[in-house]
Amino acid sequence: MAKILVVDDAAFMRMMLRDILLNGGHEVVAEAANGLEAVEQYSICKPDLVTMDITMPVMEGIDAVKQIRQNDPNAKIIMCSAMGQQGMVVQSIQAGARDFVVKPFQAERVLEAIGKVLA
Amino acid sequence: MTTQHIHPFLESASNILGMFQFSPRIGEAAEQAKPLDGKEVITVIGVTGHLRGQVYTGMSTADALRIVSGMMGGATVAEFDDMALSAISELANMICGNAAIQLSQGGVTLDISPPTIITGSGLGVAASRMKTVSVPIHMDGMDGLEICMALEV
C-alpha cells in the first residue's frame, strides 16, 4: 500500500483515480487541482508516489514535476494525461517522471504502473 | 485545415466513446452557418502550435448525462452537477489530447488549453473570422455529439 498524491484539474478524474487507487489497496493522502498546489501538497504530505496530469491551469504538470524533483530528487511521479504524444512523454521523463499513462486509462494499467515504480 | 487535420479529432472521439461502451458512427462533415445550433452543453478547447484555433464539442443535456454515466462504468447520473460538468470537460480534453497524439505522428504538434464548458438552451457558435467544419458523431438512441473545428494552419 502506498500513500499517493493525485494531481488533476478535473474533479471527475480525481474521483476516478481515487476509486482505482483505493480498490488497488492504496491510500490517497491528498489531491491537487494544478501544478502549484501539487508542489505545496507534496512538501506537506510527503507521499510515496504522485499521479500527475499535464494540461492544467496555473502551473502545468511537467513544470510541477521539475519543481517537485528539485525539492526531492527521489520523488516518484507517474504522468496521467491525454497528451501522450512522444514529445510530451520524452519531456516528462526528462523532467523526472517514471512512467506515462495515457487517458482514457484502464484501472489495471494505472495500478500496474504504480506497482512497477514502487518495486 | 484539411481532412488530414480534421480526421484525427473524429477518430479520437469515436475511439474514446467506444471505450465508454457507446457505438459511435462518424457522420458527414459540413460547413454550417451556425455550428452547434441548439446544443445545451458546449465544451471549448483552445489549440496552439502547428494548428491554431478552437475545437468545440456540443450535445444535449440528456446525452451529456448518458455519456457521463458511460464514463463512470454505467453508474446512474440523474443531475448535471459539478462532477458531471467536470466529466464532460475531461471527455473534451481526452478527445483533443488523443487527436494531438495522432497528429504528432504526422509531424503536426499541438498544445491544448484546459477545457471551458458552456451550458444553456439553444446555444450555437459563430466563428466569423475562421472557417469552421462541423461533424456529427451519431450514437444509437441518442441525439449524438457534434464536433466543430475552427482551426487554421
ipTM of the predicted structure?
Answer: 0.87
pLDDT of the residue at A65: 98
Proportion of chain B above pLDDT 70, given as a percent: 100
pLDDT bracket for residue A48 (50, 70, 90): very high
Min Cα separation A28/chain B (Å): 19
Higher pLDDT among residues B73 and A24, named by residue = A24
Contacts of B59 (CB under 8 A, 6+ apart): B39, B40, B41, B67, B88, B143, B144, B145, B146
Min Cα separation A69/chain B (Å): 24
Grid coordinates belonging to A65? 514535476
Alpha helices for A11-99 (secondary structure H): 11-23, 35-45, 61-71, 86-95
pLDDT bracket for residue B9 (50, 70, 90): very high
For the stretch B69-110, pLDDT in tens is 999 989 999 999 999 999 999 999 999 999 999 999 999 999
Task: Flag if A11 and B86 touch (Cβ within 8 Å).
Answer: yes
Task: Flag if A15 and B83 touch (Cβ within 8 Å).
Answer: yes
**Cβ B140 vs Cβ B23: under 8 Å:** yes
Name the strand (E) or helix (H) holding B59: strand B52-59
CATH of the domain at B67: 3.40.1550.10
Task: Flag if B87 and A102 touch (Cβ within 8 Å).
Answer: no
Q: In this complex, is the C-beta atom of B113 within 8 Å of any C-beta atom belonging to chain A?
A: yes
Q: Please tell me the total count of domains within chain B.
A: 1
Domain ranges of chain A: 3-118
Name the strand (E) or helix (H) holding B50: none
pLDDT at B30 over 90: no
Sheet holding A27-32, edge to edge: A27-32, A3-7, A49-52, A77-81, A99-102
pLDDT bracket for residue B32 (50, 70, 90): confident
The residue segments making up the domain with residue B76 are 3-152
Task: Flag if A83 and B112 touch (Cβ within 8 Å).
Answer: yes
For the stretch B38-76, pLDDT in tens is 999 999 999 999 999 999 999 999 999 999 999 998 999
The mean per-residue pLDDT over the stretch B29-45 comes to: 92
Pick the CATH number of A3-118 from 3.40.640.10, 3.40.50.10800, 3.30.70.1350, 3.40.50.2300: 3.40.50.2300
Whether the predicted model's global pTM rises above the 0.90 cut: yes
Reduced to 3 states (helix: H, G, I; strand: E, B; else coil), residue A10 is: coil
